[in-house]
Amino acid sequence: MYIIIVGGGKVGYYLSQALLSEGHEVLVLEKDPAKCGAICDQLGSVVVRGDGCEARTLTEVGTERADMFIAATNEDEDNLVSCQVARHKFKVPRTIARINNPKNEELFKKLGVDVTVSSTNLILEHIEKEVPTHPLMHLLTLKGGALEIVEVKIPPTSSKVGKPMKDIVLPPNSVVCLIIGKWGARVPTDDTRLEADSQLVAVTSPEAEAALRAALTE
């Protein structure tokens, strides 16, 4: 695949290194001549000095034949604009933007950026996982955003402890797919009884999340 990366900072550098070693054709666009020199020394001639938001630069590097366009600078507005130019002027099929302010995620999606990666959110998710203060944790948002996979820990105080799955009424669009207990992981049947401190992996919609938590933990 031909992949263009805008921004030759730390993220851009390690990203291009990884993609090159996977055998992709990679091109890095970077404004700063010193950073360009460093990348050229380390990774070879895969870097062009220029502004990744400018249509002229993007024409020069053959953006119209790129399979993927990744904007990885540390400025959200630059990442948004370069992805929009790549998408609308050069019809790049897949655009990916790094975002710093997690609040921008919705905007970027609305404006046609295919994938957004928020390092702030990623770190937050890890903290949530390591420090379980909340009985319900997001594991994954499924593509399209309508459904998500969550993990629910059953507290010993839950009134559902000891009850079989068939007696537990879940909100619409929600299903428990897996129960992880002391004995390992198991796909629940109607007769599987909930145990205290077991972990449940469930599919649910963002709207039904609170109801699902209440149905299992209260």
Partner 1 sequence: MKIVIMGCGRVGAQLAGMLDEDGHEVTVVDSDTYSFRRLPASFKGKPLVGDGTDEDYLKKAGIEEADAFIAVTQGDNRNVMAAQIAKHMYNVPRVICRIYDPLREEMYQTLGLETISPTMVGAKLLRDKVVG
Residues 30-69, one symbol each (x = binds partner 1 by CB under 8 A, - = not), give -----------------------xxxx-------------
Of 21, 42, 101, 120, which one interacts with partner 1 (CB under 8 A)?
101
Of 6, 8, 47, 78, which one interacts with partner 1 (CB under 8 A)?
78
Of 40, 48, 61, 107, which one interacts with partner 1 (CB under 8 A)?
107
CA dist., res. 12 & res. 24, Å (int): 15
Q: Does 91 bind partner 1 (CB under 8 A)?
A: no
CB nearer to partner 1: pick between 12 and 52? 52
- Please answer whether residues 149 and 142 qualify as being in contact, where contact means their C-beta atoms are separated by less than 8 angstroms: yes
Within 8 A by CB and 6+ apart from 161, the residues are: 154, 194, 195, 196
Q: Does 84 bind partner 1 (CB under 8 A)?
A: yes
Cα three-residue angle 174-107-82, rounded to 5 degrees: 130
Does residue 191 sit in helix, strand or coil? coil
Q: Does 145 bind partner 1 (CB under 8 A)?
A: no
Q: Based on the number of CB atoms within 10 Å of its own CB, is 156 exposed (0-12), middle (13-18) or buried (19 or more)?
A: exposed
Q: Does 125 bind partner 1 (CB under 8 A)?
A: no
Q: Does 100 bind partner 1 (CB under 8 A)?
A: no
Within the chain, strands assigned E span: 2-6, 25-30, 47-49, 68-71, 95-99, 115-118, 136-141, 148-153, 175-181, 184-186, 199-204
Q: Does 92 bind partner 1 (CB under 8 A)?
A: no
Alpha carbon of 118 to those of 42, 80, 98, 201: distances in Å?
27, 13, 6, 24
Of 4, 15, 85, 212, which one interacts with partner 1 (CB under 8 A)?
85
Of 110, 131, 169, 184, which one interacts with partner 1 (CB under 8 A)?
110
Q: How many residues bind partner 1 (CB under 8 A)?
A: 20
Chain residues in the site for partner 1 (CB under 8 A): 53-56, 75-78, 80-81, 84-85, 88-89, 101, 103, 106-107, 110-111
